[in-house]
Amino acid sequence: MSGNQEPNHRAEQTVCPYCGVGCTIEHAGNGKATGTAGPVNTKGEVCPKGAAAFDVVDHEERLTEPLVREDGRFVTTSWETALARVAEGLGDVVDEHGPDAVEFFASSNCTNEENYVFQKTARLLGTNNVDNCARLCHSSTVAAMSERLGAGAMTNTLDDLAETDCLLVTGANPAEQHPVIFRSYFLPAIRDGATLIHVDPRETDTTDAADVHLDVRPGYDIQLLNSMATVVLEEGLVDESFVEARTAGYTDLTAHLDDVDVETGADAAGVDPETVREAARAYAEADRAAIVTGMGMSQHTCGTDNVHALLNLALLTGNVGRPGTGVNPLRGQNNVQGAGDVGALPNVLPGYQPVTDAEARQRVAEEWGVEPPSEPGLTETTATHRFGDEVRAAVVFGENPAVTEPNANAVRAGFDELDFCVVVDLFETATTDHADVVLPGSSWAEKAGTVTNTDRRVMRMRPNADLPGNARRDLDILTDLGGRLVGEPDAFDYDGPGAVFDELTRVCPPYAGMSYDGIGDGYQRWPFPAEAESGTDVLHAETFASGAETAPLLPVSPTPPADSVGEDELVLTTGRALQHFNSGALTRRSETLMRMRGEDVLEIHPDDAAFRGIEEGDTVVVENDRGSVRVSAAVTGAIQPGVVFCTFHYLDPLANALTGDALDPVAEIPEYKHSAVRVRKPAA
């Protein structure tokens, strides 16, 4: 511990609570965080969010007492009364409708241990209805990569991507959304001569560093990617020995791509055919070419197919299984990778073992004493569509679905149809507005445990502050709740997060062999075979994670976006800003970050603005059949004609009032990146 600290704060290396990069930080005095030299930010570098992370810890609006609703209003109460109310409320729903009438919303910014206990609670209660907000960001990526390669995670490491010769960044803006990765790994590679190809409808800070920009129309990525694959075939750029040894289905794919005309595909995607050829050559001719993919690819009703098309490119060119290559999703929250790893998903047990696999259920039962249910549960997106019908109760742990789910007005109305809702959080949010009980949990700075970053590194979090008031540690809340709900207190009797992690290593195969103490100030990366010092860096090197020697090539056909776009309509696409994070429940309470970016704007192309008589700074109405918001216009050539862009961090404008219910049929991820909207000046 360093000296000169406030009495309730101390400096202990922990992990930033925001994005999935996994920068290490610690308290630096005067309520400020500072970067420490850690596994990822090796020089202690952090971005503005990391530096401002303490702003929410000491915030005056922190919940410090349990709240129960009485006559429509929250009143403070004791923990015993609040937890008894939760046990009674959920128990009544289970008694009347069965355990599948409850949906458990896990948290991808809470620890592995907390998420593990949470999903164990759901499963011991008798339901697989547990999900986390990975559903909303990369569930389609995970689905495609798991099916084809056997693992839904970055194939490579940040360190080896820094050695690549070509970065194909698709639907991501790492310069703003994963700033430390961009500055400390990607920019050095680019300065060393790597080509950066940026696929994005907008010009962003990432585009500024790019050699090639493909400003694809939102929803038309498959036309673009199939065209690139066709160029690879037409120009003899296939890695024939890799295709021969490591893939299957080449004949079917080439037959499919025979029907793809590059000019026609590029035209449909809204990009210049010659630029498509240039990008395909740069990617295929590089010795080591890496795909880095984000939510611009995944958040579509064809999100899973988008990633299948990316995988075809990587496999055709032999860019899998070697340093500097692969397909690498940049994960959003600090533990979105881990929440899935430990089983907070409705179709898989810890370690991505299918719930339908009897042997996997038996292995888990040997540890838990009870076999988990065999039917896949509801995803959180589908569950919200069934609120008030077959879903009668929700347990929301550290998430804010009233803002983050699509068609937010409908979701909020759905919450009011529930018989019972309990929320564990730090602050009152749009979701706690609908709760019967709110339990004050712990912030990132008050907890211990592990999180897993975007390149599969498991790292330790450590407390830097004491809990405020009567708030409790999340793990204590969840184990207490688990014992009460399931009626098996012994199943949730752990001696701290290290004991939970020990159990996790026994039931979660990728984490087998890891140890809480062994992680220390460093990391252990999954998978973690006995002979590895710190884990496996490059996946799929000899065989694929699926266990097979070959991965299938897969013909992929385009499907249109769910919203058709009328003559007077524009396409709304949404995304993040550097200074804010997800629903903004934390970052909008940070004075530092609000000073940097205090309001949201709608980016609109000058032609679309002029056509509607809109000028810079005007308040405009953005609307469709699902909702209507008002927002200031930013007139900019950085967005292509026909498309407008808004972030989703603010309650006002609530961008998700405009996004739709349509889901990817495989992953059930929403189509956040393509919503038809009308944009106009308000009536005088």
Place of tokens 């084809």: 148
Quote the CA–CA distance of 602 and 628 in Å, as a whole number.
13
Give, in order, the Cα–Cα distances in Å from 532 to each of 350, 450, 514, 537, 546: 22, 20, 11, 10, 19
Q: Between the CA of residue 506 and those of 350, 539, 575, 610, what are the distances in Å?
A: 10, 22, 38, 62
Report, in Å, the least distance between residue 159 CB and ligand SF4: 16
For residue 22, the minimal CB distance to ligand SF4 (Å) is 6
Query: For residues 18 and 544, which CB has a smaller minimum distance to ligand SF4 in the complex?
Result: 18
Residue 406 Cβ, how far from ligand SF4 at the closest point, in Å?
24
* CB of 232 or CB of 593, closer to ligand SF4: 593
Report the interface residues with ligand SF4, using CB under 6 A: 16, 18-19, 21-23, 46-47, 49-50, 178-180
Residue closer to ligand SF4 by CB (options 22, 343) is: 22
| Residues across the chain | 684
Nearer to ligand SF4, 55 or 100 (CB): 55
Give the separation between CA 86 and CA 100, rounded to whole angstroms.
17
Q: Which is nearer to ligand SF4, 50 or 66 (CB)?
A: 50
Please, is 591 exposed, middle or buried when counting C-beta atoms within 10 Å of its C-beta (0-12, 13-18, 19+)? exposed
Q: HEC states along 654-677?
A: CHHHCCCCCECCCCCCECCCCEEE
d(CA 85, CA 265): 58
What is the DSSP secondary structure assignment for residue 100, as one 8-state letter? G
Q: Nearest distance from residue 18's CB to ligand SF4, in Å?
A: 3
The residues that bridge with 74 in the sheet, in sequence order, are 69
Cβ proximity to ligand SF4: between 332 and 653 the closer is: 332
Q: Which residue is nearest to ligand SF4 (CB)?
A: 50
Nearest distance in Å: CB 335, ligand SF4? 11
Q: Edge to edge, what strands does the sheet with 327-329 contain?
A: 212-214, 195-199, 166-170, 289-293, 327-329
Which residue lies nearer to ligand SF4 by CB, 21 or 646?
21
For residue 1, count other CB atoms closer than 10 A to its CB.
Answer: 10
Q: Which is nearer to ligand SF4, 552 or 584 (CB)?
A: 584
Q: Which residues are registered as beta bridge partners of 73?
A: 70
Min dist CB 240 to ligand SF4, Å, is 40
Nearer to ligand SF4, 178 or 434 (CB): 178
Whole-number minimum distance, CB 564 to ligand SF4, in Å? Answer: 37
Provide, rounded to whole angstroms, the least separation between the CB of residue 21 and ligand SF4. 4
Helices (H), 155-258: 158-161, 174-177, 179-181, 187-191, 205-208, 221-234, 240-246, 250-258
Q: How far is the CB of 547 from ligand SF4 (least distance, A)?
A: 33
User: What is the smallest separation between the CB atom of 466 and ligand SF4, expressed in angstroms?
Assistant: 23
The two beta strands, 353-354 and 348-349, are antiparallel
Instruction: State the Cα–Cα distance between residues 624 and 628, nearest whole angstrom.
Output: 6
Which is closer to ligand SF4, CB of 227 or CB of 453? Answer: 453
